[in-house]
Chain A
Amino acid sequence: MIVAVTSLGGVALAAAVALGIAAKKFAVEVDPREVAVMDALPGANCGGCGYPGCSGFAKAVVEGAAPVTGCPPGGGAVAADIASILGVTAVETEKMVAMVKCQGDNAKAKDKFHYLGIHDCRTAQQLAGGPKQCPGGCVGLGTCAKVCPFDAIEITEQGLAVVNREKCTGCQKCIPACPRSVISLAPYGATVHVLCNSHDKGPVVKKYCEVGCIGCTLCKKAVPDAYAIEKFLAHVVYDQREGSEAAVEKCPTKCIRDLGTQGYPEGSSFTMPAANA
């Protein structure tokens, strides 16, 4: 009995000593700041920062390789937290959200052919440049919605992708997924946008879409600083967007949309928040 107790106790003691030595000898140096930053991050592992997961970003930001504002879903709040952990000052950045620059759904834009294949925008694009006549428009087969880690994108019944501005965190995963580069980032504060992605000349656009930009420049004439035209396609200059809503009624094809007063594109189930500061 005594032999049993002392021999087992001896083994336990030896194991404890071995573990203690191993704990010291093979210890991994973890910067406690890294753990604190990890806690502050949203934890979605979306990759929007460009690093492998939240732990990758935490390591990078503590090393100084990544900026404290490098987590788009975290936004200003997380940037401030990280800044205080590291003892630096965070720079204010405007929240950016994704936006599908197109309103040409099946009711408004024509198809080249009836597509019978895999429901993926990239796959469809490989077939004769995609089913839409418009080379830049939204294909509507849902690849962007599939890759969004925050379920912020819907495809309307008429085949148009729409991003929910409140759910979108600006992680940018949808942007490379789209074969036509129809999605781009815009400041959350901006509610007036030119929702078209076609650089074709006006008469060509009119043949295939009711709500395409024809490059008439009436928007620029109405609010010169807020609009720029590049290769027959207008876009809002977001840094100078004040007064841009004045061009909405001037636009002949109604491709400029004021989400604040007109809401999301037709067919979308999303609604703009009541008070839009």
Chain B
Amino acid sequence: MKLKTFAGGLHPPDDFKHFSNKKPIEVCPLPPELIIPLSMHIGAPAECCVKKGDQVKRGQVIATPKGFVSLPIHASTSGEVVAVEPRLSANGTMVNAVVIKPDGEDAWVDGLEGVDPEKASIEQLRDKIRDAGCCGMGGAAFPTHVKLTPPDDKKIDVLLLNGVECEPFLTADHRLMLEQADRMLDGIRIIMQILGVRRAVIGIEENKMDAIEFLQQQTQGSNISVTPLELKYPQGCEKRLINAETGREVPSGGLPMDVGCVVQNVGTVSAVSDAVRKGLPFIERVMTISGPIVNSPKNLLARIGTPISHLLEVCGGVKEDIAKVIHGGPMMGNALPDISAPAIRGTSGVLFFGKGMVKERAIGPCIRCGRCVGVCPVHLAPTSIYGAIMNEMVDEAQTLHARDCIECGCCGYTCPSAIPLVQAIRQAKAAIWAKKK
């Protein structure tokens, strides 16, 4: 039976999930220090409301949101604020962060309470989601309450759940679907209520048959269904997922709501369930710590702000010298210069590689083979954008829709001349943005 999918993209030769896909979620012990950046999501950074010397409790608000597209940030455990200063963040830049020394009590802040979704209004449900700091857990960290507030003229008819996890190595969502399906399904129902939709579809790739079968059983006879999808990267990108599931194409520069869809990651909806029913803030998540040189790859349930060095320690350290550390997946993640950086709300995993897997190839000339064009899931011509920006032709790059690029990495992956195409397109985007100003 031919499974649903989208046009373009590529089939990775090995998904490398075997390192951790059979490992049940394990709770990660508290580190000696938590570093919580004040800028972790898309939207305005939150405003810090604590200072050095303050005592905080687990779940206490330590930064308040600025504006609608912004989220509060919470302390991941109880302890003392030892500093509010710039620290290296998981995206490689120095960001203002609140540094907390745990006191070992792990005591919750008072006043956290949930609502009954059957009785609460939609406004109340959205407020609970915002107050908890819920954001996209697939990696983009977009504030969830904003996604669940489409303008009145955008009619949503289906909720799509992203259980695809198309990046190699990462297995956090897979384990979540197997082990915490109740939380996930509850979150799905709450969101369906908020959006007023009667249909939800969970998309899962065929390399997770156990999750597909299990969830099909769990959702039998309900208005939530499970669709197995052909194994292809980058199916987890929300616009590609919409195309694969429904055949609809989000217009250039548009959003999923333009075609009547809302997409949510399976981890995000589970956090929504906690936020609504128990008032729990988003202070921990499942992350896959993996890679060929990690002694004991795991799916850790770790607190936000846990230094990556601590996560590695919990996984037994490395077998050989680390040549590369990637925050996220190997296709779209970013390499880190330093493992003292903390895991943040958008951290789906951290991967460690030795010298053997880091290829250093000289960048060659474009040979016009066309592979990048064929593989681009957004139907762009990466080589043309590369040529334009390398010759300072910013307007040309804009005409070639550089801004629609989702930075999935398929083009750079297939280029036989090892041209860093995504890097060039990112530069084009920055140049276009600078010019607009």
* Cβ A123 vs Cβ B423 within 8 A: yes
**Contacting B423 at CB < 8 Å: which of A112, A117, A129?**
A117
In the assembled complex, the Cα of A128 lies from the Cα of B426 at a distance in Å of 14
Task: Given A116-B360, A128-B92, answer yes or no on A123-B424 (Cβ-Cβ < 8 Å).
Answer: yes
B427 contacts A by Cβ under 8 Å = yes
| Distance A127 CA – B92 CA, assembled complex (angstroms) | 7
- Mark interface residues in B410-437 (1 if CB within 8 Å of A CB, else 0): 0000000000100110110010000000
Interface residue? B121 (CB, 8 A): no
Q: Is B335 engaged at the interface, CB distance under 8 Å to the other chain?
A: yes
Taking CB atoms, residues of chain B closer than 8 Å to A6 are: none
Interface size class of B (residues with CB under 8 A): 10 to 19
Partner of B337, one of A112, A118, A119: A112
Complex contact B430–A126 (CB within 8 A)? yes
Which residues of chain A (98-135) have a CB below 8 Å from chain B? 112-113, 116-120, 122-123, 126-129
Question: Which residues of chain A come closer than 8 Å to B94, judged between CB atoms?
Answer: 129
Q: Which residues of A contact B93 (CB under 8 A)?
A: 128-129
Please, which residues of chain B bring their CB within 8 A of the CB of A113?
335, 337
Nearest Cβ on chain B to A183's Cβ, whole angstroms? 18
- Which of A116, A123, A129 lies in contact with B92, CB distance below 8 A? A129
- Complex: how many Å from CA A126 to CA B427? 8
Q: What is the CB-to-nearest-CB distance from A206 to chain B, in angstroms, rounded to a whole number? A: 20
With A and B bound together, what is the CA distance between A119 and B423 in angstroms?
A: 11
A177 nearest in chain B by CB position: B392
Report Cα–Cα, A112/B360, bound state, in Å: 17
Docked pose: A170 CA to B93 CA in angstroms: 34
Query: B377 to nearest A CB, angstroms?
Result: 22
B420–A118 CB distance below 8 A: yes
Residues of A close to B423: CB separation below 8 A: 117-118, 123, 126-127
Task: Report the bound CA distance from A256 to B335 in whole Å.
Answer: 36
Interface-central residue, A117, A126, A128, by most chain B CB under 10 Å: A128
B410 to chain A, nearest CB (A): 17
Task: Give complex CA distance A123, B425 in Å.
Answer: 10
Residue pair A123, B360 in contact (C-beta under 8 Å) = no
A252, B134: Cα distance in complex, Å = 54
Q: Find A123's partner among B335, B336, B338, B427 (CB 8 Å cutoff).
A: B427
Closest 3 CB pairs of A and B: A128-B92, A113-B337, A112-B337
Q: Can you offer 25 A-B residue contacts whose CB atoms are under 8 A?
A: A112-B337, A113-B337, A116-B420, A117-B420, A117-B423, A118-B363, A118-B390, A118-B420, A118-B423, A118-B427, A119-B363, A120-B390, A120-B427, A122-B427, A123-B424, A123-B427, A126-B426, A127-B423, A128-B91, A128-B92, A128-B93, A128-B336, A128-B337, A129-B92, A129-B94
> Which residue numbers of A lie inside 8 Å of B, CB to CB?
112-113, 116-120, 122-123, 126-129
Q: Assuming A116-B360, A128-B91, A129-B92, what are 11 further A-B pairs, CB within 8 angstroms? A: A112-B338, A113-B337, A117-B423, A118-B424, A119-B363, A120-B427, A122-B427, A126-B426, A127-B423, A128-B334, A129-B93
